Amino acid sequence: MKQSDKSLDKVEAGGVLAESDTKFTRGEIISYILIRIPWFLICLFTLGFPAKYRERLRLFKGLHKINLSVDPENPLDVKYKPWSTPPVYSDRGNGNNSLLTMRQKQQEEWDRLNITMSVITATSAAALAIQAVSPRVQVYWLVTTFYSIAFGLSLEGLILVTYMTISAGGSSDEAITRLAKGILIFDPKKYRMPRLSAFIMALPAIFATYSSLSLLMGLAAMVLAGPAEGVETQEKEYLLATIIPVGVGFLFLCLAIILCEIATWVEIFGRKGNRLFGIKGSGEKYPKDKPDVPPHCSRCCTVG
């Protein structure tokens, strides 16, 4: 009886421990409210593109080895030092292999989105020019609203894709890996923002999708709507319905540009602190028979 009572006490104690383990801490609850719920709402209103691109960002984490946790028993396990190695640019391809790298595949996707948004911009601009060519034509104000939204979002998408293409082309694999892991400026062990990087990466696809939907809804409104009032009589409604989505898109565009600029200048000043290609004070330089330019691929153009 005593042994059975003791076993029952252990089971009950284990049950209490199990229940205590399932309880959320205060920090986890705050993190859930401030991060997970807004993230779910953002994914909901952006058709799930940020969540998809977050999974894709996991493929970019292997471009450069960033070891944040060091095993003291392993002598080969070295702590990560930012910008302490020569930069590598895998977006320039591999001369020994015809397969495209992840950065090249991403650039191809941006090129396709650029073409898509260029077509949407031209189509919506031509649709908006109907009233200017023939003032007698009375176009329903909602049709003009949808075409204006498509025109504005596609233009913002074109600006963003052009900027991200140039910015990514000048960034090394280490900088891309840092962004994929959500490392920007602060301590990478405490402050990491992979969701923000995924959202910025998904913005071109979001702009292209919503501008296409606006163009489609404008066409549907043009076909289904009968004789109705134009923009001249519904000016306030037209301005509100147009400026809200275009204004939100402009804010996202500014956010993406600011974060990309921060990441670019962090790498520039970081490499200057390490004498651009070598660790400060180490005297590390390229061989004399090699040009003073960084290698573009770790497999085909490594120096030394």
289 occurs within a structural domain: no
Q: What is the DSSP string of 59-120?
A: GGGGSS----S--TT-TT-----TT-S----GGG-BTTB-SPPHHHHHHHHHHHHHHHHHHH
Count structural domains, the chain: 1
143 occurs within a structural domain: yes
Residues 6+ apart with CB under 8 A from 215: 120, 123, 124, 127, 146, 147, 150
124 occurs within a structural domain: yes
pLDDT tens track for 96-111: 666 788 888 899 999 9
pLDDT tens track for 112-165: 999 999 999 999 999 888 766 666 666 788 888 999 999 999 999 999 999 999
174 occurs within a structural domain: yes
Give the separation between CA 98 and CA 128, rounded to whole angstroms: 45
Give the separation between CA 216 and CA 84, rounded to whole angstroms: 51
302 occurs within a structural domain: no
Confidence (pLDDT) at 155? 96
301 occurs within a structural domain: no
Give the separation between CA 158 and CA 198, rounded to whole angstroms: 19
187 occurs within a structural domain: yes
pLDDT tens track for 253-288: 999 999 999 989 988 888 887 764 444 433 444 444
This prediction has a pTM of 0.77
Domain membership of residue 101 as a residue range = 46-273
